[in-house]
Amino acid sequence: MKRMVLVCSVFLLGLAVVFQSSPTVAEEKKPVKFLLTAPLSGILGSVPDIGYGLMDAAQYINDTGGIGGRKLEAIVEDGRYDVPTIVGLFNKYAAGEPKDEFLFFCPFAGPALKALREKANQEEKIPVLGASMTNQIFNDRVSKDTPYYFTTGPGYNEQWAMALKYIKKNHKKSTPPRVALHYYDNSTGREIHQSLRDYAKKYGIDLVMMEPFSPKAQTFAPGFLKFRQKKVEYILFWNWSFKVGARYFKEVKKYLPNVPTYGVHWTAANLFFHLAGDSYDGHYVVSGYPLETELDNTFIKNVTDMAKKKKRSIKTWGFYLQSWVMGQLAGEASRQVLREGKPLTRANIRDALENIDTTLTGMFGGNKLDYTTHKFSQARMLRADKGKKSLVPVTDWVDIYEYIK
């Protein structure tokens, strides 16, 4: 009996040793980890599509060869659009994960991007593909101040400038257009104010007022009533909460049925037709992304094929596409590092991103992505059409810097 026990324990011990070692075998299988702290609950509501986008892009990368044999692994946590939660999760992974595996991060909240400036760029030095396109970070100094930060869209200031230019171009009356900003009351909501004033002055637009709204409020009527009183002709709706947007479109049509609303990236979603019904009709939005219905766009074709394969029922295509792009960028940048014969480190990935050579499988109608500014530069103006129950483009793809000159 005693001998049996001895033999068994030696056997088990041996097995353990065998599995512990073989470093060469483990090395090849080490995943490339991308942490995404998505809003799955909290003030922005629940948007699981954000998580799916990254997961499905990772699968796409892995299906097409992976990263030199290594798999891209999407890790999705609930960041709740809450800075302390997001920072806490990031710290946990930064401390617990090996630095040659944990190579990409997305906080998915502008305020969190700001909160983690030092930690991500000086301490951890980890490539961050953010969702927020805030000009407070993505400006001329980005390569010096926050070299590891990249965003997946044109800068907010540029998007709003395009909206203002479009308004001015299409304004029929002889008096300057009377425009009001209705903004989500937080730091991101306030950061575009100065740029807006500057561009309004440049184009000859009367920026009548800037009215905040609290995302927790059940009604936006106080702002609407003021707009009515001041005879506002165009409303700039600065919001990124999908929860808030649905209510907003319904209510604005009750108070100001003849005043068009303008938005950027975050209010471009066909889902609003489903939630707010016909009241989404006539909303104008600047977007750096193609629509999920444009199947002649090869990027969109890839994405929709994968979504169909995974049997996803995507509600918020804008979010899905954005986090997909993050995953695809992560994969392509990593491959570029390996193609150049360099080791896959965080620093090398950063350089590869800044100098990336890709069209993102035709996302911008074939134009290449110029990531030297750390943000995208291609955009279009879309309009919500209730007949088609979809957004439709009212301009071609333009270089946004050229458009807003």
Looking from the CA of 402 toward its CB, the CA atoms found within 13 Å total 7
Q: Does 398 bind another protein (CB under 8 A)?
A: no
Question: Which tokens belong to 113?
Answer: 């991007």
Residue-wise burial string across 148-165, b where 16 or more C-beta atoms lie within 10 A, e elsewhere:
bbbbbbbbbbbbbbbbbb
Looking at the DSSP bridge assignments, the partners of residue 392 are: 383
Pattern 153-192, another protein, x by CB under 8 A:
--------------------------------x-------
Residues 63 to 102 in contact with another protein, rule: CB under 8 A: none
Q: How far apart are CA 276 and CA 38, in angstroms?
A: 24
Q: Does 243 bind another protein (CB under 8 A)?
A: yes
Q: Does 222 bind another protein (CB under 8 A)?
A: yes
Nearer to another protein, 302 or 316 (CB): 316
Give the length of the chain.
405
Span interacting with another protein, options 85-93, 193-201, 224-232, 349-357, rule CB under 8 A = 224-232
Nearer to another protein, 20 or 218 (CB): 218
List the one residue from 66, 111, 176, 212 that touches another protein (CB under 8 A): 212
Q: Does 225 bind another protein (CB under 8 A)?
A: yes
CB-based contacts of 255, cutoff 8 Å, min separation 6 = 221, 224, 225, 227, 228
Residues 244 to 303 in contact with another protein, rule: CB under 8 A: 246-247, 250-251, 254-255, 275-276
Q: What are phi and psi of 315, to 5 degrees?
A: -95, -40
Q: What are phi and psi of 384, to 5 degrees?
A: -80, 125
Counting other chains too, the contacts that 24-32 makes at CB distance below 8 Å and 24 or more residues apart are: 28/69, 28/70, 29/70, 29/71, 30/70, 30/98, 30/100, 30/101, 31/70, 31/71, 31/72, 31/73, 31/101, 32/67, 32/70, 32/71, 32/72, 32/73, 32/101, 32/103, 32/104, 32/330, 32/334, 32/344
Nearer to another protein, 122 or 187 (CB): 187
Q: How far apart are CA 336 and CA 323, in angstroms?
A: 20
- Scanning 204-345, the segments in alpha helix (DSSP H) are 221-229, 242-255, 271-276, 298-309, 317-339
Residue 134 CB, nearest approach to another protein (Å) = 21
- Closest of 174, 291, 156, 173 to residue 236, by C-alpha: 156
Nearer to another protein, 64 or 219 (CB): 219
List the one residue from 115, 221, 338, 398 that touches another protein (CB under 8 A): 221
List the one residue from 9, 21, 219, 372 that touches another protein (CB under 8 A): 219
List the one residue from 228, 339, 368, 388 that touches another protein (CB under 8 A): 228
Q: Does 313 bind another protein (CB under 8 A)?
A: no
Residues 20 to 49 in contact with another protein, rule: CB under 8 A: 40-42, 45-46
Q: Does 129 bind another protein (CB under 8 A)?
A: no
Q: Does 193 bind another protein (CB under 8 A)?
A: no
Residue 255 CB, nearest approach to another protein (Å) = 6
Q: Does 229 bind another protein (CB under 8 A)?
A: yes
Nearer to another protein, 211 or 354 (CB): 211
Residues that bind another protein (CB under 8 A): 40-42, 45-46, 185, 212, 214, 216, 218-219, 221-222, 225-226, 228-229, 243, 246-247, 250-251, 254-255, 275-276
